[in-house]
Structure 1
């Protein structure tokens, strides 16, 4: 049975009634037809039929891709440019649809997405060894990392006989395998592939981070866990070493030899070996959030732990099923505002499994290390081992070498954990690997954001495992380290720092902090200045830019579905705040302008100074009042997501508006008659926010 893989060269034929997609490399394959404007899907093996008119849809096609390198001979590409093809012309101007398109285009442009025509980049090498290579590529893809899964819903439904999602009637009742080559899975995340060497031994070194499409979003608008057991900012990172791979060059667009399975070249008689190590990160799995209010430190809210037990069970049930034992490394602070998140996590672990606790302390920290593990293996949640490390306390004062304390604590776990190792099977045209070893567990690391501290710890664990891999295959002698090879060490450090920046930018809007340590092995003053710059930029993005970014994620991933009946009538993106509240920032800008003009404009020698001083003082007082007003009522000025309103945001916004109406200066002018389009109809289901405790 031939393996069905996505077409490499899809041509688009557009007309007023349909889009037709064909492949020049497979002229005998049926043509995929998408009718305009209905979105009805079919394979062109018969007469073209008419279609009913429905609300507008768009087809997103990749128009430009950049080769990133090969893994086992399979070329991997990065999405560079896309185009949105409308299913119908737009005779009427629709402001909401314009905004939807703008959000989608911005989101796609800023999103690092990758794909391969012949290789399942959504799955680790260990999972690939457990999948059926005879299945089409999209059926092998890991659903968590199949980032464009929702975008291809209509094609998948048509393929499986469920009809097109764009039609109100069932179009097909039979399977349509001819659609398989038109479905191309894409992964969101980070990927770098380097051809290098260690101690003169050539190898391919790669790093892949896959971001989950579940509960995806931005830093403060996507925290904790949801009812389905998905946590925010969940990423799987796989570090890969491939030996004796002579097919690792970039080659041409078609992937080299032109074989449909992507395999090219040979290995000169030597066995190709693949070794990979997987780690995960994810938000603390309880119901918690931080509420933006323009303060530098947002307000922390944690709901009762009991309410999250069911969701946490779903989460860890999936994690154990996928990865085996979970070593939960928690890096949040044990004091201050983060302590409540730490306590909630530990309480959740205790509730999931009967565990015993072990604590250590030293002169730097009351709780240097804290671990919980079950004394009895009675049920699956006893496969959770909790390890706490007070990262900030232990490494303060540039004592970054003290992170070694955590590594020492985890050494026995890492030895038992192992890594995946596979050997290419000679003569196997499908490129399967003979499994020589598997990774038995996973380290799941988190801090508050699962970014900066997490990056440092993950790179440290990856380095330890890399040295073990290279020692096991004889490249390194016992006790040697790959860091002794200066060229490779530079590649390793920069690759992990690049990974930190990509994960951080997609979640927090800026590159990661502490990357000076990852890149150089030292914490520097220049790095701390860069971190301060990132902190300020994150503050601006998180308060004023992340709302539209969250809306873009929700649109692309299908967590928000525009209603056809509301398009063009709701004006969803109109600013509905009272006009006076909208005017305060403009008044602040005017005061700064007036003060600047009065300060830097030349005065005549005989001009009176008193009126000018009164003028400056007046605008200075106005500016101070505006700043105080904005800061005191910050929730009214945060750029919130508009498509899926957040319960705590709605509640806080209403409280802030009530407070403004009591303001002695403008309160009497701010009433419901001045609130543009005020309506709580869309927010009636958000009673959940009232259950939250601070």
Structure 2
């Protein structure tokens, strides 16, 4: 790949009344990208643009997005170096700026809300990029791609997080405009793929051998969202909270320190600084996680435990087939490890998953293994035919039941069950090709299958199991590399053991925060290998925080996902989309509750005059106490009216639940007659299919 097709490392922005111009001072012969104002038309210019005043230097163009009134160019103004991976510097997006195409003299409430959602989302979302390395693809997939292609063309579409807001540049690149026809390869250096997820690169050593260990978790942009507003599978076969995690070991790489922008080709092939004549070797291991691939949801009602809805297994069979077709094509055989509970509310989700697997595989053979401690330890569904779906291997492990009483060592039972599969699936291994300018790898070994792990949220239990599998494979990799002796584990190196645990605990927290709003549970076990009382208290705090955020704060957060990823288009939306259209009395009850609480406190703590009557004060306190209790009971009983739902793409089950709850409220003896009979809330016609926007991005 030529340096000309790599994204520019330095871009200057020039602004005038008529246009924005983007140039690279380090590439003076490259074309200037011009965005005309206020139309937003793109063009390339080979000459200097007069009248443009230099505004600033930026790290890259994140993309362009059209809101209700205007289009904005989102530029990366600050990026933090995270370290080098095989010589390539990786950066984290720290700060961005929105460049409007119009000068807006008046503020529009909806437009301001859209901007606030986007800015908050970008600021809180961990996004990473590289100018010379494709972080959206695993090393194994990179080895199969054409390195002469521009970076954005090689990016994995699932993890090309800013794909939607880059669509203007990509469309201009592929087909041009009315002013400049045909393909425009000069745009390639301005298109910068960004990944959303977790990335850590740590130079370290084990047993005296210098290595670089890295962990990358890539979150899919399809069906992305928050914990209770994004569950299960959609019609296209995309599941919620799908993440691909790659654990990487680099041996004989002396280019892993922090620094400025990576240099030229010599720095990009992993040999700068010298490795003493030893080959630079890469070993990586990939796992996936994703929501149970059936149509299901958990409906917020302000109760701590939401209502579980499973809307049929057969109706989701085609979507699940599409999902696993893609998984098998990308990863080979899939070992489906299901960790949900076999009793209680999660039992229905477990049974639905098993029914789906039985529908997909040909003549499945089902077995179970038991011991004298539990009724059932494993449930295994293996294929019996030779169809493509027979590359699915379902394994059930009752995580909570097996580890109850802090018996975390019993997770080893699952590892024993997967031992043969892990032996067969191998891992990726490659070494630098000496004469390759692009830093290509000579492949020595491929990973032939993947373990796809899930629990209800694909967060806490999932991460514990994934870290356990990663530990097993890492011991094997280090043994194969000759760093560890046969039968030895890296646990004997206390420093490296601590680093490994921290790495996976950090991964748990990042994945959990982006989905549930808090750090993960059970990370004390991941960090220390022990379940502690302090860890249990931290889990309690996180659980309470999750309850508050999932019920009262996640609606706008889901809206920000839908806005950034293009599953909702503001330009087609009605005015005042964020307005609260619930009946006024329904809106007022939380305020009445607050006033009641305040008046009760005033009555209790107000000093009574010596000759003052006691009864009126007691009646005052009792009245407001009764009013407050009624308000609290009403809110809790009709919780769907007080959950902060997404407003841009509300979910169908939220619409149904809202209408049902309103009808029940109208029958209430106290306030029923006072509630407006006409529907002021959710529009059935508008919300008939909440997933319609998913198709717009394709």
TM-score between the two structures when normalised by the length of structure 2 = 0.94
In the alignment, the residues of structure 1 paired with residue 368 and residue 184 of structure 2 have an alpha-carbon distance, to the nearest angstrom, of 59
Residue 62 in structure 1 maps to residue 76 in structure 2: yes
2-structure distance, mates of 1:373, 1:584 = 54
The aligned residue for residue 255 of structure 1 is: 262
1:589 partnered with 2:589: no
Partner residue in 2 for 1:17: 18
| Partner SS for 1:76 | strand
CA contact (8 A) 1:516 1:523 kept: yes
Closer/same/farther in 2, CA of residues 408 and 680 from structure 1, 3 Å limit: closer
Matches within 5 A, 1:270-289: 270-289=278-297
Match of 2:38 in 1: 37
Work out whether 1:659 is the aligned partner of 2:667.
no
How does 1:450-599 map onto structure 2 within 5 Å?
A: 450-563=458-571, 566=573, 570-599=575-604
1:356 equivalent in alignment to 2:365: yes
Structure 1 CA distance for aligned equivalents of residues 538 and 175 of structure 2? 54
Per the alignment, do residues 559 and 685 of structure 1 end up closer, same or farther by CA in structure 2, a change over 3 Å counting? closer
**Structure 2 CA distance for aligned equivalents of residues 517 and 680 of structure 1:** 46
Deviations along 1:216-261, one digit per CA (max 9) or x if unpaired, are 0000000000000000000000000000001111122x22568685
Paired residue secondary structure (2:431):
strand
Conserved 8 A contact 2:655-2:684: no
**How far is the alpha carbon of 1:266 from its aligned partner?**
2.7
Q: Would the alpha carbon gap of residues 347 and 295 (structure 1) be closer, same or farther in structure 2, given more than 3 Å must change?
A: same
Question: Which structure 2 residues correspond to residues 68-467 of structure 1 after superposition, within 5 A?
Answer: 68-161=82-175, 163=177, 170-252=178-260, 254-256=261-263, 261=268, 264-354=272-362, 355-376=364-385, 378-467=386-475
Contact 1:579 1:676 in 2 (8 A): no
CA distance in 2, matches of 1:173, 1:289: 47
C-alpha spacing 1:176/1:293, structure 2 compared with 1 (3 Å): same
8 Å contact kept, 1:661–1:668? yes
Question: Relative to structure 2, which stretch is displaced further, 503-512 or 265-274?
Answer: 265-274
Q: 1:89 to 1:493 in 2, by over 3 A?
A: same
8 Å CA contact 2:195, 2:218 repeated in 1 = yes
How many corresponding residue pairs?
673
Correspondence 1:595-610 to 2 at 5 A: 595-610=600-615
Is the 8 Å Cα contact of residues 38 and 54 (structure 1) preserved in structure 2?
Answer: no
Match of 2:686 in 1: 682
Helix, strand or coil: the match of 2:253? Answer: coil
Distance, in Å, in 1 between the alignment partners of 2:15 and 2:552 is 39
Q: Does 1:2 align with 2:16?
A: no
How far, CA to CA, are the matches of 1:220 and 1:162 in structure 2?
41
Task: Tell me the residue number matched to 1:691.
Answer: none
In 2: Cα distance, 1:666 partner to 1:358 partner: 56
Q: Which residue of 2 aligns with 1:616?
A: 621
Alpha-carbon spacing, 1:679–1:480, altered in 2? closer, same or farther (3 Å): closer
The residue that corresponds to 1:166 in the other structure is none
| Partner SS state of residue 284, structure 2 | strand
How far apart are residue 555 of structure 1 and its match?
0.4
TM-score (norm: length of structure 1): 0.94
CA distance in 2, matches of 1:34, 1:587: 52
> Which whole-Å CA distance do the structure 1 matches of 2:158 and 2:690 have between them?
27
Residue 650 (structure 1) aligns with: 655
CA distance in 1, matches of 2:269, 2:194: 17
Contact residue 585 and residue 626 of structure 1 kept, 8 A: yes
Distance 1:98 1:613 in 2: 48
How far did residue 322 of structure 1 move?
0.3
Residue 124 and residue 258 in structure 1: after superposition, are their counterparts in 2 closer, same or farther (change >3 A)?
A: closer
Q: CA deviation at 1:562?
A: 1.0
Following superposition, the deviation at residue 605 of structure 1 comes to 2.7
Deviations 1:416-475 (A, max 9, x none): 010000011113211011000010000000000000000000000000000000000111
The whole-number CA distance in structure 2 between the counterparts of 1:495 and 1:260 is 26
| Cα pair distance change 1:679/1:244, threshold 3 Å | closer
Distance 1:551 1:180 in 2: 30
TM-superposition CA deviations, 1:29-48 (whole Å, max 9, x none) = 00000111111111013798
Q: Which residue of 2 aligns with 1:167?
A: none
Deviation string 1:551-572 (CA, Å, 9 cap, x unpaired) is 00000000001125x5xx6200
> CA separation in 2, counterparts of 1:54 and 1:615?
50
Cα deviation digits, residues 316-352 of structure 1 (max 9, x gap):
0000000000000000000111011111101111110
Judge which range, 676-685 or 322-331, deviates more.
Answer: 676-685
Asked if the contact 2:583–2:681 (Cα under 8 Å) also holds between the matched residues in 1, the reply is no
Q: Given that residues 364 and 393 in structure 1 are in contact (C-alpha distance below 8 angstroms), is that contact kept between their aligned partners in structure 2?
A: no
1:492-530 deviation line (CA, Å, top 9, x unaligned): 000100000000000000000000000000111111111
> Is contact 2:86-2:268 (8 Å) kept?
no
Residue 631 (structure 2) pairs with residue 630 (structure 1)? no
Contact preservation (8 Å) 1:78, 1:112: yes
Contact 2:284 2:428 in 1 (8 A): yes
Contact kept, 8 Å, 1:446 with 1:454, in 2: the verdict is: yes
C-alpha contact 1:226 1:287 (8 A) present in aligned 2? yes
Structure 2: 5+ residue stretches without partners: 51-66, 693-698
Distance 1:106 1:145, change over 3 A: same
Partner Cα distance (1:162, 1:633) in 2: 54
The 1:317/1:687 distance shift into structure 2, 3 A limit, reads: closer
The whole-number CA distance in structure 1 between the counterparts of 2:550 and 2:675 is: 27
Q: Is the 8 A contact 2:160 2:193 kept in 1?
A: yes
